[in-house]
Amino acid sequence: MAINVRPSEALAPCLSCAARLKSVCRAIPDRDLACLVAASNELTVPARRSFIEEGDVATDFYNIVDGSAKLYKSMADGRQQIIGFAGVGSFLGLVAAGPYAFSAEALEPMRLCRFSQPALSALLDEFPAMERLLLERVSAELAAAQEQMLLLGRKTARERLASFLLDPRLRKARSGGTELLHLPMPRSDIADYLGITIETVSRMLSMLRLAGIIDIPGKSTILIRRRKQLESIAARE
């Protein structure tokens, strides 16, 4: 692994990085940040631009420094399944060799930290703590994927919406028994995430609203009025 320190402000990019505490990089102590800086370089991606294409050889790995992305798989006839959303601190790419399993597209302007495959390998060799964090992270993602498999394989449309609205990754603000959610994506993305159509998303939201369980003060804002009822719908308990 070649150690090439950047010409100026060698450590600054990582020391002041907003994502450092949220990402697997936090396993690397301050005094070794030179290695991290040398292994990575930052790039920006405009909204709506793809930066990972399913099927391409996985030569690079990305750490999200700012912004968020949707991760999805596509079929030849245009159907697509969103397999997840990634925010600041998420790590994208495969550790094993092989093609990317999904595509990634920026939902808003993004800043990414890119590692080449060999550079990442070397980093993991040198900092086992980072490898452990990565293992924990991938394990957690696997558990989330399994939960989504239950949703996609066995839940009704109403149950999918209820589960989606209760996802802790969406949680923003709460006050008393009610919670205010901001949906950072259009209905089409919710539909592709839940394995249904945008019309069904719309219908189920209306149904929940008419039942007094939620309120929809704006297109992208949901107020949860009766969380317990939503939970009982999500789990069919």
Partner DNA sequence: CGCTATCTTGACAATCTTCAAGGCCTGTGG
Partner DNA sequence: CCACAGGCCTTGAAGATTGTCAAGATAGCG
> What's the CA gap between 158 and 200, in Å, rounded?
9
Name which of DNA, its own copies, none residue 235 binds, using a CB cut-off of 5 to 8 Å depending on partner kind: its own copies
Q: What angle do CA 25, 31, 32 make, to 5 degrees?
A: 50
43 vs 157 by CB, closer to DNA:
157
- Interacting residues of 20 by C-beta distance below 8 A, sequence separation 6+: 14, 26
Name which of DNA, its own copies, none residue 186 binds, using a CB cut-off of 5 to 8 Å depending on partner kind: DNA
194 vs 208 by CB, closer to its own copies:
194
Scanning residues 128 to 157, which ones bind DNA (CB under 7 A)? 156-157
Q: What angle do CA 84, 37, 47 make, to 5 degrees?
A: 35
Please choose, from the candidates 184, 177, 189, 190, the residue with its C-alpha nearest in 3D space to the C-alpha of residue 221: 184
Q: Which two tokens stand for residue 72?
A: 């999805």
Name which of DNA, its own copies, none residue 219 binds, using a CB cut-off of 5 to 8 Å depending on partner kind: DNA
80 vs 116 by CB, closer to its own copies:
80
Q: Is 135 helix (H, G, I), strand (E, B) or coil?
A: helix
197 binds DNA (CB under 7 A): yes
Closest contact distance (angstroms) between CB of 162 and DNA is 12
Scanning residues 206 to 225, which ones bind DNA (CB under 7 A)? 206, 216, 218-220
44 vs 139 by CB, closer to its own copies:
139
Helix H or strand E segment including 82: strand 80-86
> What's the CA gap between 61 and 55, in Å, rounded?
14
15 vs 235 by CB, closer to its own copies:
235
Q: Which residue ranges make up the site for DNA (CB under 7 A)?
A: 156-158, 186-188, 195-203, 205-206, 216, 218-220
